[in-house]
């Protein structure tokens, strides 16, 4: 079995900008192992989100190879890509993107409904996810009644409830204060340790970077640096 959860080779993503062409990703060759807690870092416009979108099968590269969970994403039909996302990939967004008409419980339950998991099991899995993020007492609340930190914890619970192999988090702390950012990162690191879920972040937030075991720096769409750090609990100490 391939031990790489994501592999890219000479990944190129171009966007037309008027008459010019912008290279959001330029010849990016990277691979991530199962269970990693890694981040793609860099300034705005460096290509972090584009990389995550391609890895999450929401976008396709202009050229190059991208294999996610052993599947070449260019050859995936939209239905198969949707199936891959349903079963194996979770997303955490900067702006939480909770479904406003649904309660916390229903938001977290949503991915399980797509997986057609039975009612009793769903209930148990949502309860577990709420426990992991410490929101068991807010299950009946609507997103509008939650703080930013609570919303992001719900988003994390929604991403992890189905125990996916891969979670892609795009600037998960950008809308949070320092304390909430650390809480969120600690929660995700614990889930990484306990459930073995691979977390890949796109961030330029120093607070997030302190928790990462691996930092890949992108500059102008190119890999500038790929750095493995020691088992990190630095964030906690700060």
Partner 1 sequence: MIIPVFAIKNTFRAGIKSWLNAFVLSLSIVSIIWLQGLYKGMYDQGTRAMIDAELGGGQYWVEGYDPYDPFSIEDSHGKITHVLSEMIKEKSAACILIARGMLYKQGRMYSILIKGIDPEQEILSIPSGILKEKNNGIIPALIGTRMAKNSGLKKGDIFTVQWKDSKGVFDAMNFQVSEVMKTTVQNIDNNQIWISLNTMQKIFNMHSEATIVTIKKDIKPVNAGLNWEFKNLDFLLQDMKTLVQAKTAGASILYIILIFLAMIAVFDTQTLSIFKRKKEISTLIAMGMTKNKVIALFTLEGMAYDILAVIIAAIYGVPLLIFTAVKGWKMPAGTDTYGFALGDVLYPVYSLNLVFWTLLFVFILTAIVSYVPSRKIAKIEPAKILRGSTF
Binding site for partner 1 (CB under 8 A): 24, 44-50, 53, 56, 58-59, 78-79, 82-83, 85-87, 91, 93-95, 97, 99-102, 106, 110-111, 113-114, 158, 170-171, 174, 202, 204
Closest by CA position to 62, among listed 10, 17, 112, 98 = 10
Closer residue to partner 1, CB minimum distance, 58 or 230: 58
**Least spacing, CB of residue 120 vs partner 1, in Å:** 16
**Least spacing, CB of residue 155 vs partner 1, in Å:** 10
Burial 159-190 (b: 16+ CB within 10 A, else e): bbbbebbbbbbbbbbebbeeebbbbbbebbbe
Closest by CA position to 162, among listed 201, 124, 200 = 124
**Least spacing, CB of residue 97 vs partner 1, in Å:** 4
**Least spacing, CB of residue 237 vs partner 1, in Å:** 27
- Cα 45 to Cα 164, 197, 222, 230: the distances in Å are 28, 27, 11, 28
Contact 98, 155 (CB under 8 A): yes
d(CA 234, CA 37) in angstroms, rounded, equals 14
Closer residue to partner 1, CB minimum distance, 77 or 231: 77
**Least spacing, CB of residue 31 vs partner 1, in Å:** 22
Closer residue to partner 1, CB minimum distance, 139 or 237: 139
8-state DSSP, 120: H
Closer residue to partner 1, CB minimum distance, 165 or 228: 165
Closer residue to partner 1, CB minimum distance, 18 or 100: 100
Tell me the residue length of the chain: 238
**Least spacing, CB of residue 19 vs partner 1, in Å:** 20
Closer residue to partner 1, CB minimum distance, 100 or 231: 100
Show the tokens assigned to 166. 């891969």
């Amino acid at each position: 079995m391939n031990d790489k959860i994501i592999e890219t080779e000479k990944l190129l993503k171009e966007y037309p900008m008027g008459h010019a062409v912008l290279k959001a990703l330029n010849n990016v060759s990277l691979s991530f192992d199962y269970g990693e807690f890694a981040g793609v870092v860099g300034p705005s416009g460096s290509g972090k989100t584009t990389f995550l979108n391609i890895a999450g099968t929401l976008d396709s590269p202009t050229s190059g190879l991208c294999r996610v969970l052993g599947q070449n994403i260019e050859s995936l039909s939209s239905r198969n890509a949707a199936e891959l996302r349903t079963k194996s990939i979770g997303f955490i967004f900067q702006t939480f993107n909770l479904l406003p008409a649904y309660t916390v419980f229903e938001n977290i339950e949503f991915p399980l409904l797509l997986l057609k998991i039975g009612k009793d099991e769903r209930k148990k899995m949502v309860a577990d996810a709420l426990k992991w993020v410490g929101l068991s007492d807010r299950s009946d609340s609507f997103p509008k009644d939650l703080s930013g930190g609570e919303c992001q914890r719900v988003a994390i619970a929604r991403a992890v409830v189905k125990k996916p192999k891969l979670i892609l988090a795009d600037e998960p702390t950008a809308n949070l204060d320092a304390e909430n950012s650390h809480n969120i990162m600690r929660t995700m690191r614990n889930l990484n340790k306990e459930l073995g879920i691979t977390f890949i972040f796109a961030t330029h937030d120093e607070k997030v970077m302190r928790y990462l075991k691996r930092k890949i720096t992108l500059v102008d769409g190119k890999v500038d640096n790929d750095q493995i750090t020691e088992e990190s609990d630095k964030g906690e100490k700060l």
